[in-house]
Copies of this chain bind each other. A is one copy, B any other.
Amino acid sequence: MKRNLLIMSKMPDYFVDLADANFNTFKLWLQKNEDDYLNKIKNDIEAIAVFGGYKITPQLMNSMKNLKLIACYGVGYDAIDTIAAKDLGIRVTNTPEVLNDEVADTAIALMLCVYRQIILADGYARNNEWLNGEFPLTKKFSGTKLGIVGMGRIGSTIAKRAEAFNCEILYHSRTKKNVKYKYYGDLKLLAKEVDTLCVITPGGKDTEKIINSEVLDNLGNNGVLINVARGSVVDEEALIYYLENKLILAAGLDVYADEPKIPKRLFGLKNTVLLPHVASATVETRNAMGQLVFDNIKNHFENKSLISPVV
C-alpha cells in the first residue's frame, strides 16, 4: 500500500513525478481552500515535502497525528520549528551538499558582477552607448580580501573558488573551524579587515540581523556585501541606507527579508546586483535536491536511516 505524502508548496516536476509514482500524494498548493483541505486530510498525512522557507508551525505539526517526517527541499530549514518537531517525534531532513557548488557559483557571480559592473556594462553595450565613449573603469576583484560569514560546507566551497582568484580568505563563524583561513570571532573586526563580506550562514533567530549598521560601518565605503544566506541575516533598512548614501560601495543580494517582495528602494540603486533567490536554481541542482528529498522520504517509509536528517 502506498504511503501518504503531503506536498505543501509547488515543487519541481522532477520531484513531483517521482513522488506521484511512489507515494499517495496530496497537493496542497493546487487546492482552492487550503484550510478545508488540510482539515479533511490531516489524519492521513504521514510525511510532508516542502520548499525551504515555507513556514510550518507547531500547530500544523500538532494537528497531524500520523505525521512523522518533514522533508525540506533546500539546505535552510529556519522556517520549521525543529524544537517543536523534536518534541512531537517528527523527523526533519534538508538537502545539504548537493547545492554547495551552485550556491558558491552564485556567490562568485555576484562578486564579479558587483566589482566589474557587468549588468550596467551589458546595458551600456545593448543601448549602443559605447558609440559615445568607453564604459567607465571598474574595480578589480582578483586579489581582494574576502570575509566569509559562515564557514560551513557552502562557505568553504566559496573559499575554494575565491582562492583561484587569488583572494585572501578570512572568516567568521560561531566557532573556529579546522580550516587554513584566518578566523575572526568578532564580525565587526572581520568587516573592517576585508574588501568583500559574503554571508552564507544559516538563518533563524541566532543570526537575525547580524549584518547591522555597526558591521556595515566597519565594512566601509569601499566595502562590498554579498548575501546568499537568508534575508533575515541582514538589517535590510540599514543596508539600504548605507547603499543609498554610498557608505558602503555596493551589494550583491540573492535573498531578502520578505520574499518575494524586494524593497522598492533597492530597484533604483546602481550599486546593487539583485537576484530573485536563484542561488541553487538550475535544472541540474534542483533535480539533485528533489532526488534527495525523495530518497529521504523513501528511506523513512522503508524504515531505513535518513540520508540528511536535521532532527
Contacts and interface: CB of A to CB of B under 8 A. Distances in A.
A139 B282 contact: yes
A103 to B, nearest CB: 10
A117 to B, nearest CB: 8
Contact of A121 (B140, B278, B284): B278
Given A262-B130, A278-B135, A140 B101 contact: yes
Contacts of A104: 142
Interface of A: 12, 101-102, 104-106, 108-109, 112-113, 115-116, 118-119, 121-122, 124-126, 128-131, 134-135, 137-143, 160-161, 163-166, 259-262, 264, 267, 273-278, 281-286
A139 to B, nearest CB: 6
Contacts of A142: 101-102, 104-105
Contact of A286 (B108, B125, B126, B137): B137
25 contacts: A104-B142, A105-B140, A105-B141, A105-B142, A105-B165, A106-B116, A109-B112, A109-B118, A113-B118, A115-B282, A116-B278, A118-B273, A119-B122, A122-B275, A125-B275, A126-B267, A128-B262, A130-B259, A130-B276, A131-B261, A135-B278, A140-B282, A140-B283, A160-B164, A161-B164
- Which of the listed residues A112, A125, A130, A160 has the most CB atoms from chain B within 10 Å of its own CB? A125
What is the copy number of this chain in the assembly? 2
Contacts of A282: 115-116, 137-140
Given A130-B262, A261-B131, A105 B112 contact: yes
A93 to B, nearest CB: 22
Nearest 7 pairs between A and B by C-beta? A164-B164, A109-B112, A140-B284, A101-B142, A130-B260, A125-B274, A130-B276
Contacts of A286: 137
Contacts of A161: 161, 164-165
A262 B281 CA distance: 31
A178 to B, nearest CB: 21
Nearest to A126: B267
Contacts of A259: 130
A226 to B, nearest CB: 13
A118 B119 contact: yes
A153 B140 CA distance: 18
Given A112-B109, A140-B102, A165-B161, A281 B135 contact: yes
Contacts of A138: 278, 281-283
Contacts of A119: 118-119, 122
A161 B273 CA distance: 22
Nearest to A104: B142
A65 to B, nearest CB: 33
Given A125-B262, A166-B101, A284 B134 contact: no
Contacts of A121: 275-276, 278
A101 B165 CA distance: 8
A135 to B, nearest CB: 5
